[in-house]
Structure 1
Amino acid sequence: METRLDKEGFESLYGDLKFQNKIIVKQPNTGGGLALLWKDDVVMELINFSPNHILMKVTEEDGFIWFFTGFYGWPEAQNKEKSWQLLKHLRSFVNWAWLCAGDFNAILNSTEKLSLRPPNSAEIDAFRCGLDFCNFKDLGFRGYTYTWSNKRPGAANTKLRLDRAVATMEWRAKFQMSTVSHLPPHASDHLPILVHVKRVQRHQQKFTKGFKFKEAWLLWEDCGDVVKDAWDMAGRGELGLASIKEKIKFCGAELKAWGSSKLEPNEAAMKTLQNKLEELYSADVMTDESKTEYLSVSKQLDDLLLKQEIYWAQRSRVLWLKHGDKNTKFFHSKASHRKRRNFIKGIQCAQGNWVDEGEDIAKVATGYFDNLFCAAEIQTIIEILQVYANASGQCINLEKSSVYFSSNTTGRQKQEALEILGVKEVSRWIPNYPTNKPLSSVRDDEEEVMVSSLINHDLQVWRRDFILAKFNREEGEAICNILLSRRQVPDSVYWKHSKDGNFTVKSTYKVATSLLKKEDWAESSSGGGVSRVWAAIWKLHIPNKMKVFGWRACHDILLTRGNLKKKRVLLDEMCPLCFRSQESTIHALWECSAAQDVWHGSARALQKCGTGQTDFTSLLEYLLDQMENIEVELMIVQAWLIWNQRNRVVHGGKFMDPAMFVDTTSSGFGAVIRNFRGDVMAAMTAKGPAVQCSEEAELLACQKAMEFAIDAGFTDLIVEGDSVNAMRSIISVKEIQSALGHVIGDFRHLMGALGRISVSCTKRNGNRVAHVLAKYAQHISSNLFWMEEVPSFVVNSVNFDDL
């Protein structure tokens, strides 16, 4: 610990402490110093010390040896490099598991500083390099984030996380259940930290695990025989589906019993085979017999290594390293990570007491849910609402209120509750769908399905097979295309008539006025309300074919999918490029994300000049009041070019970038990581779900690229994309409430895990490699990754990218 007492003052206090051993190191220029206390039942040996550290060797009861360092980093900016030099020097004294804790007087990333002044990135980089050199990893914490405060009021206040505990992989593997807690402050400007060193509890209750098929079983020749025999024996007395269920159940039981003897490959057996190979290889003379034996032993060793590789690859969740490594420490660490993450170390009961024993945790959880789901009359809810209304002075409008029901609530119970409360049941929850609610009928004997039951909460993805079984194909696809956040954020309401999802009076006024104008406008050019629009079109100095195009667009007689459906030519009226809404004239030429990208590049940024118009006539009338004739001419020409290019894309088999595949319900993403010289360090091509627009595709591609970069170990990144709207949404400080807000929020959350990161927009000809990788995704069945090598099909694009 760091103490403000001098050596004499600490000696006088030491008698009151329940520790039999101590080491006190005095600071040479200031009062106080470092102190380490321990009891007799802890075997510790001093290695060395200085005014900034104490290094000890600890021996456990089972003989396991590890090292502990109490550390105090130099607080002065000009001396911080000395801290990391000291850490690197201590590394030479440690040859195994190592725990280091104390006041490092440094932070690891920008989220560990709360201040108006930005953090020093050079100091962060130096700290990271020091920890990486010693193979340290932060152990995390419980409690308040910041451990130090200057205690100044207002804007001058600064808070930092200066105190932490870090450890090597060997130490973390031995003490997997260890925790670090930030305790409440008292007189100091630092929060004390408590490191609870704890191993895996071997006496914990064993839970019955369900059957899981192990891929490595397929390497045994008798695996197929076990399945065949079990399938033939079971289900003989049953019929139909009951017979199938019985066969599957019996097969699982037989495979589990048979597979229990097929343990993971034994290291001793592999070592024996390796020694045998070395003996045969080093023989002075190789005979035919020894050569045959050599090949036989080599094959046995290959089989064992393959079984071991598949075993650990299936246990780990590093899917992009499928069958890509042998039995390394890295794979052991990943295989054990999920167990540590899911283990409940303790829980706080209703009285505020902390319990960490298995039986006590179970009792607290059972009692909580018993109280949560106890029976209560609906009248109690009305009384609570009335109390709230009286206290707040706000009367609750029940006609505008909604109620949610759980999946086990019967239809009769729902109806009674709705009649008593006087509210409606929520059902309109599917965006980008004509009715915004499912129309599939539910059988009378079938319980209604909650939206939450359609989500796999472990992977945070839709349960596609379950959804398609409950709803018709069109509704199921619409549900599966709704974006889900990776962070399990709470539900929110957004305003669909604004780009960022926030409700504004301005956007409401535009929607209202456009609806009123639509009712008043005539359907032919003889109508007096739009006569000046027709006159303006025919007076424009543009080719006649473009005038006719403008006239046809105003009359809404272009061959859009919406019009073709009215004429019963097509059944689907959805836009084939963004899949977001009906392809009407105003959507194809103005609202579609593909068209917005074009308008954004115009001199006047036209997509900002008018919003909320429901048809092309109202849009043109609005622009006539805002622009000169020459600008209107350019606008008509631009719209004509958009319409023709759109037809070439839709009917000519060309795709937008990122890759959105017309013939499948999927999309493709590509990313490439380069160093400052332009050399390719890593690349990725991945297949994703169907997207609604090009901006959604760009944002999902950025998210995939960020996750890949973090998994690959990169910490300092410059993220570049060629979609201006997507890049602006990411770097904007404004909260995005729209349907894409989850994706943007997930990306910003990932940014906090990196040291330094910047986001910028690049030209399309500087992003060729990423586009080629994205389009290649339509040919793959699983994601592909390359580390420090260039995929053969992008070599030419790498050479011609404009960096």
Structure 2
Amino acid sequence: MSCIVWNYRGLGNQLTVQELADVVQAKAPAVVFLAKTLANKARLEYVKDRIRFDKKFFVQRINKGGGLVVYWKNDILVDVVSSSLNHIDMVINKNSKAVWRFIGFYSEPETHKWHESWDHLRCLHQLNLLPWLCTGDFNEIVKQSEKLGGLKRVLPNIISEHQSAFLKGCLITDNIRVACETLHYMKNHNSGNSAFMALKLDMSKAYNRVEWSFLKVVMTQMGFNDRATIHDCQKVMDILSSYEKVSGQKLNRDKTALFFSKSTSGDMQRQIMGALGVTELKQYEEYLGLPTMVGRNKRASFDQLKQKEAEIIKNIPLSSTNQLDKLIWPFTPSSNYLVKLGYRFLNENSEQSQSSVQDTAFWKKVWGMEVPSKIKNFVWRASKETLPVKKNLCRKKITQDGQCETCKAGEEDCSHALFFSSDVQVMWNMDP
């Protein structure tokens, strides 16, 4: 008898369900346990039918998070003993010689609650002495051989959240700004006796302020010196080695690189690269998908992004089935072309072109007004019907109707709210 256990992180995507169905067909398990389904009862029933299983037991998701489910077939006897948000405990083939116990488990994702998950498992273990298979997602290293030093729990007590890769209230794009600002300063530093070096470790800090003066003060407070020696480089490697042993992780040396300021001599660069055992960061390497430095030729810097986007577009399948190409007229529901439709299209296109010229002149005047930028932005939003008036709120299902609450005379679009509502008319008619 075989089982499939999977933390699926959501069964709402049809491709995800298809992937599960393919795996089930290939492995032919008797039991399937899925954690973090993020699905409701109807969706779980659909998945059961899709993978061609007969029965299920599930733990309902909370709001839009969590959720557990077990599927099995009619040819095995399953007795569900207990369940919670974190587990499903079952006895397989009860009252037979082949009886055994199955627990599908999903540990608390928050590190400060991990001890609660392990206490929970210990309690479950004491309830039954049957042969036991306990499997699932434990959100933690579960074997001592998987880590070095056994000190993984110590890290949260000695490393603050401000030393992590991401900070609350900051975006991943802030990391890009920090890296670009730092490298930009170093690239242009080519005078004086001081020289700078950056060690890229495939990790960064997401600060809200990225000016070099700010970064320099922060790095000074963290213990960085104005000058570094080969001995200091070895100290850095010793610290990284200790970090690997304590965390059980391994530094990705393929993504680790150095960047030197122009004032760093060639001999010093070679000595440092030899001491650290890493390569030099080239000018147009990427960080989080964007070039770390942009020179005068900005087009060359971003050509790779355009090429990637073009490849993604070219790889979009046109159809899941083989279909013959055919000519269509995209401006009618029937897709059929008539001469009168072409004539109408040309006339409308000509009118739009004339209107576009007039719009361009109008917007030049608007953007050229000597008023605060927020007023120009308000005018632009009003003309594009993007203000939160009742009509737009109703269209987005935020309110029940789009009627003007002041005059009850019709829908409240931007024109009505600014010019034609009864209260607004009073103000427009007042003397300046």
- Per the normalisation by structure 1, the TM-score is 0.15
The structure that has the greater radius of gyration is: 1
Bigger relative CO (Cα 8 Å, ≥ 6 apart): 2
- Per the normalisation by structure 2, the TM-score is 0.27
